[in-house]
Protein backbone atom coordinates (compact mmCIF):
# COMPACT_ATOMS: atom_id res chain seq x y z
CA UNK A 1 0.00 0.00 0.00
CA UNK A 2 2.79 2.43 0.86
CA UNK A 3 4.27 1.89 -2.61
CA UNK A 4 1.02 3.03 -4.25
CA UNK A 5 0.94 6.14 -2.06
CA UNK A 6 4.59 6.82 -2.98
CA UNK A 7 3.78 6.51 -6.67
CA UNK A 8 0.88 8.92 -6.25
CA UNK A 9 3.11 11.43 -4.47
CA UNK A 10 5.76 11.13 -7.17
CA UNK A 11 3.18 11.71 -9.90
CA UNK A 12 1.93 14.81 -8.08
CA UNK A 13 5.48 16.21 -8.27
CA UNK A 14 6.29 15.01 -11.78
CA UNK A 15 3.05 16.04 -13.50
CA UNK A 16 3.38 19.80 -12.89
CA UNK A 17 7.10 19.66 -13.68
CA UNK A 18 6.44 18.01 -17.05
CA UNK A 19 3.50 20.33 -17.75
CA UNK A 20 5.71 23.33 -17.05
CA UNK A 21 8.50 22.04 -19.28
CA UNK A 22 5.98 21.50 -22.10
CA UNK A 23 4.55 25.00 -21.67
CA UNK A 24 1.21 23.74 -20.35
CA UNK A 25 1.45 25.09 -16.79
CA UNK A 26 3.17 28.07 -15.23
CA UNK A 27 5.48 27.39 -12.32
CA UNK A 28 3.96 30.41 -10.57
CA UNK A 29 0.38 29.09 -10.73
CA UNK A 30 -1.46 28.05 -7.61
CA UNK A 31 -2.14 24.62 -9.16
CA UNK A 32 1.56 24.02 -9.79
CA UNK A 33 2.55 24.99 -6.26
CA UNK A 34 -0.23 22.99 -4.58
CA UNK A 35 0.52 19.85 -6.60
CA UNK A 36 4.20 20.15 -5.72
CA UNK A 37 3.43 20.71 -2.05
CA UNK A 38 1.00 17.80 -1.85
CA UNK A 39 3.29 15.37 -3.68
CA UNK A 40 6.46 16.34 -1.85
CA UNK A 41 4.64 16.40 1.48
CA UNK A 42 3.31 12.91 0.88
CA UNK A 43 6.76 11.63 -0.02
CA UNK A 44 8.28 13.37 3.02
CA UNK A 45 5.83 11.66 5.37
CA UNK A 46 6.61 8.28 3.80
CA UNK A 47 10.35 8.97 4.09
CA UNK A 48 9.87 9.79 7.77
CA UNK A 49 7.92 6.59 8.39
CA UNK A 50 10.55 4.55 6.54
CA UNK A 51 13.44 6.41 8.23
CA UNK A 52 14.96 7.43 4.92
CA UNK A 53 16.69 10.57 6.16
CA UNK A 54 18.21 11.76 2.89
CA UNK A 55 14.89 11.39 1.10
CA UNK A 56 13.15 13.13 4.00
CA UNK A 57 15.56 16.06 3.70
CA UNK A 58 14.99 16.33 -0.05
CA UNK A 59 11.20 16.03 0.00
CA UNK A 60 10.74 17.99 3.22
CA UNK A 61 12.59 20.98 1.81
CA UNK A 62 10.81 20.57 -1.53
CA UNK A 63 7.46 20.68 0.28
CA UNK A 64 8.52 23.69 2.36
CA UNK A 65 9.68 25.66 -0.67
CA UNK A 66 6.45 24.78 -2.50
CA UNK A 67 4.41 25.95 0.48
CA UNK A 68 6.30 29.24 0.48
CA UNK A 69 5.48 29.49 -3.23
CA UNK A 70 1.79 29.05 -2.43
CA UNK A 71 1.83 32.06 -0.13
CA UNK A 72 4.19 34.23 -2.18
CA UNK A 73 2.71 33.54 -5.60
CA UNK A 74 1.37 36.27 -7.81
CA UNK A 75 -2.18 35.04 -7.24
CA UNK A 76 -1.82 35.85 -3.52
CA UNK A 77 -0.57 39.42 -3.86
CA UNK A 78 -2.89 42.20 -2.87
CA UNK A 79 -4.46 44.21 -5.66
CA UNK A 80 -2.80 47.47 -6.52
CA UNK A 81 -4.48 50.86 -6.50
CA UNK A 82 -7.49 51.25 -8.75
CA UNK A 83 -6.76 53.04 -12.00
CA UNK A 84 -9.22 55.64 -13.24
CA UNK A 85 -11.16 54.74 -16.38
**Confidence grade of residue 62 (pLDDT, cut at 50, 70, 90):** very high
Q: Please report the DSSP string for the chain in residue order.
A: -HHHHHHHHHHHHHHHHHHHHTTSS-TTSHHHHHHHHHHHHHHHHHHHHTT-HHHHHHHHHHHHHHHHHHHHSGGGSPP-PPPP-
pLDDT of residue 17: 95
pLDDT of residue 56: 96
| pLDDT, tens digit, 9 for 90 and up, residues 15-48 | 999 999 999 999 889 999 999 999 999 999 999 9
| pTM of the shown model | 0.80
As a whole number of angstroms, the distance between CA 3 and CA 11 comes to: 12
Amino acid sequence: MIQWISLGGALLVLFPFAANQLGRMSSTSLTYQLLNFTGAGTLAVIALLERQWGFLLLEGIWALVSLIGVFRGRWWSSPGPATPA
